Structure 1
Amino acid sequence: MSAAILTKACELGLIFAILSLGEYISFRVMDTPDLTVDGSYATGGCVCAMCTLAGHPLLGILAGFIAGCLCGCVTAFLQTKMRIQPLLAGILTMNALYSINIRIMNGAPNVSLFSSSLKPTWTLLSDANTQLYVLAAIVLVIGLLMFWFFKTNLGLMLRAAGNNEEMIKASSINVDVMKFLGLGLSNGIVAVSGALLVQYQNFADVTSGTGMLVLGLAGIIVGETIFRRHTVGAGILASVFGAVIYRLLYTFALKLGFAATDMNMVSAVLVAVTISIPYLQSLRRKKHHA
């Protein structure tokens, strides 16, 4: 593969690393399978696209984050106040967001950031020569902020709520508030990934979130096979490097002749195999000692 292809793969890997960081909060910290991701990812992109076309690309990323937080809070509301099961709550929010995203883009299923002169509107990622460095800086900042947050009292309470909900209730900590906080932050960070992808590709589409749940989990799981320590720092590093490695594997699979339409299947197989590795290793050790 050429250097240009590898660079593009790393750039997309960094964008999806932010997706994995967001999912790390819900999947690992809160131990909650959140299907809102497929909807909030697209919402972040749609909101960012409209703000960018209005001449506010930086504000678009912030607005995308806030919109994603609201999506997560809706799911948390359904779980805590309506007593709907987490999986179903995520599905309901995700389905509703499809219609909302079309409304955000004024009834259009997709929007281009190109003007009538075929020149893209200026964005944070307009310069192809600096895209890799800008994305690396953004991932670094988000990763450091997450690491710092999970060391604070509030972050420790969020982690404790995910580890042992009953113990937290006994400690007089409001579990419902922790769910709002966790799902809000998770989907907010996911939406930032969607916003950056829009500015990277110069268009937004309401279906851009399809398959993002599996893609984000793939990054986390691939990374965890490398960083085996179960600490917050290791989890954050695993999410970042796993997403980049996964994207490189994705690019390599395309070079082998797989069609783009095959990649969802490839992703599912890769995640299933990676999840099974610890179990297969334990079986091998048992046979070795038998």
Structure 2
Amino acid sequence: MKKPDIDDADIAKFLSDIFTDIRRTTPVFEGMESKALAFRDGHDDYVLRINRGNEGFLKDAYAHTHFASEHLPIPEVIRIGEFDKGFAYCISRRAPGRTLQDFPEEELSRLVQPVAATMRQIANADISNMRGYGPFGSDGVGRYESWRAFLVGIADPSHRDWSKFDGAIDRQRLSTYLRLLLRWAEHCPETRSLVHADFGSNNVLAAKGEITAVIDWSEAMIGDPLYDVANIFFWRSWLPCMEHQANYLQQQSRALASSTALRCYQLHIGLHHLHECLVAGLTDDVAWTIARCEQLVQEAD
């Protein structure tokens, strides 16, 4: 989904209609789908995000309400509403710190333990009032009846129509990936835990050696917490912060190297990202993702 194209002047006017003492605005990292900036009103710091839909924002609010704690910092959502022309906006409190991917590589080693501890906090979050598996809505209900149903759904034409991209990717290679995923999914446990599903890099903030915020819960789901580990492993060659974290996690658990579930989840993440890139027409990202999926398959032989 393409991010909104909105003039800075329109954003400034919008904010001035809500807040009375805006001191400054500064750009912050933007995701693939949201336009974002930080601003100060009086002595309080906030982040404004604008998207084409509000579901991700509602999940951020849900995450703060149900999971935030001293050891799992999640920014409070102050306001969600309609910006203009059907766009949705979200105003949340700004957490101190930088994203993991913004840290110099020489500083990453002191963050691997705090990041791992935060991952454990996510996995141990109380989801007793939630139902289902897979991605959940702002009502806390997952879309699938089982974890395996979520995993294999990526090969279901009713969930992902791969046929429309026959000219953009090698159909035989894709069929191999999907076949392997279906086979590996048989070995994945029916675990019910909170999964961030896009953990690391630009969605974790840190300062002074501590994690200060876990943000963007739009992809969050109910399932096996190993999926968050898999996300770090899948992207390890893309970003130094992911490589450092993957190395640390491997040192803590040698069994990860031979985990069929970990391979399955990495391939699932790759296929999900591949589909998103194909839809968006991101040719370079398509090529990188296919190469990464191919590497996973070759390593499994």
Give the shorter-chain TM-score range: under 0.3
Q: Select the structure that is richer in helix.
A: 1
TM-score for both structures, normalised by structure 2 = 0.26
TM-score for both structures, normalised by structure 1 = 0.27
Between the two structures, name the one with larger relative contact order (CA 8 Å, sep ≥ 6). Answer: 1
Q: Select the structure that is richer in strand.
A: 2
